Amino acid sequence: MFWAFLSGIGACANAAYFIANKKFLQTVEPDILAASGFLFTSLFLLTIATVRGIPTLGPDFFPAVFVTSAINVVATTLTLRALKSTDISLAVPMLSFTPLFLVVTAALILHELPSLIGIAGIITIVAGSYVLNTSAEHTNLLDPFRAMISHPGILSMFVVSFLYAIAIGFDKMVVLNSDVVFGSGVVFLVLGSAFLAISLLKRSSKIAGTGTLSISPAPGTGFPGIPLRDLLVPGIIIGVIITIEAITINAAYLDQIAPYVIAIKRMSILITVLCGTLVFREKEIFRRIAGAGLMVSGVVLILLFP
């Protein structure tokens, strides 16, 4: 059951990741935040990998890195936009659908299948998401699902949950073709570089639109037009959080199938909902905790009857 302990640590780190992003997005642009966080994560992971020794890479390593990086660029963009505009206790629980999607994607990509009780636990997690999106004014059984579709931030996170279900299969493939540290270091290097390029392109376009063609660094900036404080402080904090999450979840992948690891990791939802209501003073705490608690009960089913 050591994999569950590792997944639990990953869950705490995952909750911290969303909370930190929600906080930093109040002052930092999403693309810059993603670039700095991912690049520092890569720095930390690749430094550890250098000390440990670079592993022998399997034949599927680079294809898996390419696919998961491409998917995560889209997923991260949608996630940061949703966190910026939506209550964190409504946005993040949509990721509870990822284990349900993983039942299919993990079977196709990794040939991993959960037990019948495990599937029941996953369905319970999804039911918790349904409860989370109910409110007093809902009179129809389908009203919560209509709320998901009508709210851009919640709908974006629902799409992200599906994208993650695909990416996670390739994340595990990266680990199986390298080790628990080096492969993720390479993935985050690609992701950080991609978001840095996106940020610079957006800034150069804005500058060109104003008739100023130069994008040379201004005083106090680490990259052209990007304040150094927006790169260092958020980047280091988020980098440490993601590094802990990546190592623990990758290690858990080696001992258990991906749908179960991610289902336990989704315990982060309860932590995030609590912080959303207490730290960010979001409303309807009891309903949201009830929905999140139902999700966690599904996780318990998986843990007790794998």
Contact (CB, 8 A) for 173 and 250:
no
- The pair of structure tokens assigned to 285 is 């705490």
Which domain does 157 fall in, by range? 2-304
Residue type, 280: F
Q: Rounded to whole angstroms, how far apart are CA atoms 269 and 13?
A: 11
pLDDT, greater one: 218 or 282: 282
- pLDDT band at 278, cuts 50/70/90? low
- The pair of structure tokens assigned to 176 is 């199986």
Alpha-carbon separation of residue 98 from 104, 129, 166, 217 (angstroms):
10, 11, 9, 41
Domain count, the chain: 1
Residue 47, pLDDT above cutoff 90:
yes
The pLDDT > 90 percentage for the chain reads 39
3-state SS assignment for residue 226: strand
Contact (CB, 8 A) for 11 and 268:
yes
- Which spans in 177-267 are helix H? 182-209, 228-253, 258-265
Contact (CB, 8 A) for 11 and 267:
yes
Position 296 scores a pLDDT of 73
Residue pLDDT, tens place only, 197-215: 998 888 777 666 655 444 4
- The pair of structure tokens assigned to 80 is 């940061």
- Report the pLDDT averaged over residues 231-241: 91
Q: Rounded to whole angstroms, how far apart are CA atoms 147 and 116?
A: 30
- The pair of structure tokens assigned to 27 is 């002052």
Closest C-alpha among 118, 82, 88 to residue 100: 118
Closest C-alpha among 193, 189, 166, 198 to residue 246: 189
Running DSSP on this structure, what letter comes out for residue 221?
E
Specify the pTM.
0.83
Residue pLDDT, tens place only, 93-148: 778 788 888 889 999 999 988 888 888 887 887 777 667 656 555 556 566 566 66
Other Cβ atoms closer than 10 A to 192? 22
pLDDT, greater one: 281 or 51: 51
